[in-house]
Amino acid sequence: MDDGDKSTVQFPDGLNVAVILPCYNEAATIARVVEEFRTYLPGARIYVFDNNSADNSVALAREAGAIVRTESRQGKGHVVRRMFADVDADVYVMCDSDNTYDVSAAPELIAKLADGGLDLVVGAREEVGTAAYPPAHRFGNWMLTTLVKFIFGDGFDDMLSGYRVMSRRFVKSFPQMSRGFEIETELTVHALQLEMPALEVKTDYRERPLGSDSKLKTIPDGIRILTTIMVLLRQERPLYMFGLAFVSLVILSVLVGTPVVLEFFRSGTVPQLPSAVLATGLMILGFLSLFCGLILDTVTRGRNEAKRLRYLELPGIEASRLDEVRESSR
């Protein structure tokens, strides 16, 4: 679909749409991004949440017509937490401020969210040109996305995309903990764990303009994202994690203890006492891990039920549209 086609896509009337843009030293691009959103989403409120920019990003965003807010705690996760808390809308369009995403696709993404009664639409990046997606970033995204698919279930091919359209109940039920770029991982797992209706749509992704530098540090941020996945594994699927520990410890115990048992049956003695003690200890630890997993799994189910109830308390996109229609007909 070309830009001309995208500009004719109309999202449903009556929706309160907010564009939320995290910003850190994006003077080279922020004005262009705000102007494009004003062009393609003329009825939306556009917020720029600045995160201690040292350049004139704030002034340029205001001049372009954005509502500017600030978050003093450094890190994209802190900014997203503030955006979700402070902005109230039916539909949230979150996009990075680096002018790499296709803003003209926003009406189409919103229409898919509204027409399908969805809670999340992810703009999956489809590279335009050859320099938009550094190989290290591409490999890291593939590796981490594959890991999340394996642990939490299939659903997204571009887990780390910064271009997302979300419903109000997605945003207001999100129990965020992240501080940095691992926020996208948490958003993805939130949708997968609550089995929310979601969709992924291919959108153009281009290289950064001159003067705009990526804030993502491939190795340090990749390690932080991997750590977040492990923490979420422990929190959301403890039986899986502790079950793997149980199986590993039992196998080690059997490997260590088998020669001891065979020798006992052969001679009636236990000459390798340290091995016998080690095998016994490993077996005990294995079953302790299993019981910990079972107990924590019960706790996790209760917490997920509470999150699910909170999610269901909030009106979905269809309910919001019906409320708007009722109000307008009075």
CA dist list (Å): 25 to 71, 73, 90, 96, 312:
13, 15, 29, 12, 38
pLDDT at residue number 203 = 93
Fold (topology level) of 3-234: Spore Coat Polysaccharide Biosynthesis Protein SpsA; Chain A (3.90.550)
Mark out the alpha helices in 70-154 (DSSP H runs).
76-86, 106-115, 135-152
| pTM, rounded to two decimals | 0.79
pLDDT at residue number 327 = 55
What the block records as the tokens of 216 is 């993502």
Give the Cβ contact number of residue 239 at 10 Å. 18
DSSP structure string for 32-83 = HHHHHHHHH-TTSEEEEEE-S-SSSHHHHHHHTTPEEEE--S-SHHHHHHHH
pLDDT at residue number 3 = 43
The kind and range of the H/E element at 19 are strand 17-23
pLDDT at residue number 1 = 38
The kind and range of the H/E element at 125 are strand 120-127
Instruction: Report domain extents, the chain.
Output: 3-234, 238-329
Q: Provide the residue-wise pLDDT of the chain in tens; the chain has 330 residues.
A: 344 444 445 556 678 899 999 999 999 999 999 999 999 999 899 999 999 999 999 999 999 999 999 999 998 889 999 999 999 999 999 999 999 999 999 999 999 999 899 999 999 988 876 666 667 777 777 888 888 888 888 878 888 899 999 999 999 988 867 676 678 888 998 898 888 999 999 999 988 776 666 666 667 767 877 888 888 888 888 998 899 999 999 999 999 999 888 888 888 787 888 888 999 999 999 999 999 999 999 998 888 888 888 888 888 777 655 555 555 555
Residues 99, 29: contact at Cβ < 8 Å? Answer: yes
